[in-house]
Chain A
Amino acid sequence: MSEGPLPLHKRKNTHLYSGPFEEFAAETLTTTGDLLVAAPNDELASIIVNAIRGRASSGFNRVESYSGDQTDVPYQPDTFDAAVQYNPGRGILQRHNPLYEMVAVVRKRGSIVYRAPNYIAQSTAASVEELQILGWDDHENPTIAAEMDVTVAGDPRDEEHTGSNETTLADFPQ
């Protein structure tokens, strides 16, 4: 990944999703093994966990909920096969660091389903597989949801992850 993360328009999908985030997460996560759900509070974490458990295709052996500081997740690297990350905080560091934490605790080839207000964090250790726009009704601020695949094993948090490429609307297929 020496060239840095792909610009947005190079992702597989960029489109609109009419359902709530937990539904998107439940539809997207079809892997098995261990799952971490990180959310700002227990209630949101519970909603996401229930949605995922409610899917017939869900085959996770263990589901952990975490509602603490997402910039300092208390799990060892390569602990989970998948993770759901809901609404990391605002601010430059708070945008990227939570994703780096998820990339660290998820094993290589694992999946991360990520949600953020109106930005998308990028990591050179994770590739964005799908982008969705959520919740754009009634003059609301939409949110971004993404499915990412972890591409690097171990703890990549010391690497440089903030590279970005210029992307404009003209690059998107019309």
Chain B
Amino acid sequence: MNKPKSDHQFKSSWRWPESFESWVESLIDGFTVNVCAGLSPLGDVRIDLMSPPEIISSLSDAKNTSLSDARNVCSDLLEQQFVDHDVVKELYESSATTPPGLTSQIDTNGFLRADVFGGNRLPIGDDTADWVICDPPWKSLSTSSRRNLFGELTRITAPGGHILFNAWWVPTSDNTTLDQIRLRRDDERNGAGTPNISYASIHTVYPSPHTARYLSQTFTDREFTPEPESLKETIEAETAYRLEHIGGIDHTAYDIRSVGPDTSRRCPHCGSTKLLPATDNTKLDASGCERIYQCPSCEYPVPERELDAIAAGHIQQIRYEHGWSDIPPHELRGISPEDPAVEVVDRLEAEPGIGDGEGEAYLKSALGVELDTDQEFPSGSTEEVPG
């Protein structure tokens, strides 16, 4: 690792004030990564250039800081993290130097040493964190460095996850929405009594720029919380965006669940979950009052009525009525999904839309049994929505 540069060495901003830290703690949920953590106890993994003993050691040399205060703060953290090792005692007994061996203890207990300055890659995998906290200490940072830093935070955050970023600037990126900005009076880094202000911004990471852009566009002013309740709703939002802005299709004319990711609404003939809005001349049935969806796999025009029935668990009824299955629904309901007879599975796999090896998965699906993670029906559906 590069030697710390003088302009981004850790200085005096070693932990947030209690009220702010408590507020952040009330927000975070799930696996949390704290970047530029200092002595903050927040996060399952904390990343900084220096470990806590080294930080305390640097504080003892710095002006306007108190080593005893720092140790008091740090003792809470260390008691939580290193119960089998009396590091607090060692810290108190130590002078400005870090006890030998202590650094390695801390490095292996939730601390990762990394220099994130200048666009270096964080030692965390893609889409890993539910929450990422970052309070970079640098005031003067180029736009490219700001972009690189936030790009790394976005990379390690799982879609649907959040980033809390506190700095003198507000980052943006294509894959995130900016949900909130709050003024925060910064007394620690500007101790001259002037009410300097930093900006605590909360971002949500989305699977693609389309989603983030769509959600951002749905708000006329900039004080918003565009967070959908679930990732599924997020993907539906993206589907609507792509239909409208890329496919040129009025998404309000269709049930977005049918052309989105809702796997309970599928083609009754082949099982595909990626249905498309039908072309103009077939979008309504003969009575002119029912919307029709097109299956890109088998080209069966699926009436909305059938999709609703399938979502309600009546796929076998639909298939039986169409003659695609010769097993009456009541007969199927009498079969144990966990241990079906081989003959039944073979019969199902001989029917259209159910491939070899998909019989059991279809049976479970038709009977409303939750599939295992390695099971999928239909398998290998890779159709894309328009665009």
Contacts and interface: CB of A to CB of B under 8 A. Distances in A.
Interface of A: 7-8, 14-18, 92, 95-96, 118-122, 131, 133, 136-142, 144, 162, 164, 166-172, 174
A114 B147 CA distance: 30
A170 to B, nearest CB: 4
B172 A137 contact: yes
B162 to A, nearest CB: 14
A118 B184 contact: no
B360 to A, nearest CB: 49
Contacts, number: 90
Contact of A118 (B19, B168, B193): B168
Contacts of B192: 92
B196 interface: yes
A120 B183 CA distance: 11
Interface of B is mostly: mixed
Given A119-B196, A133-B199, A169-B23, A14 B183 contact: yes
Contact of B221 (A18, A96, A170): A18
B185 A8 contact: yes
A71 B11 CA distance: 32
B379 interface: no
Contact of B146 (A120, A139, A144, A172): A139
Contact of A170 (B22, B150, B178): B22
Contacts of B190: 119
16 contacts: A16-B181, A17-B222, A92-B192, A118-B168, A120-B195, A121-B194, A136-B170, A136-B199, A138-B172, A139-B169, A140-B169, A164-B195, A168-B20, A169-B20, A170-B23, A172-B183
Interface in B165-213: 168-172, 178, 181-185, 187, 190, 192-200
Contact of B181 (A122, A133, A167, A168): A133
A122 B185 CA distance: 13
A163 to B, nearest CB: 9
A170 B169 contact: no
B222 A118 contact: no
B124 to A, nearest CB: 22
Contacts of B19: 168-171
A144 B171 contact: no
B197 A120 contact: yes
Interface string B215-233: 0000001110000000000
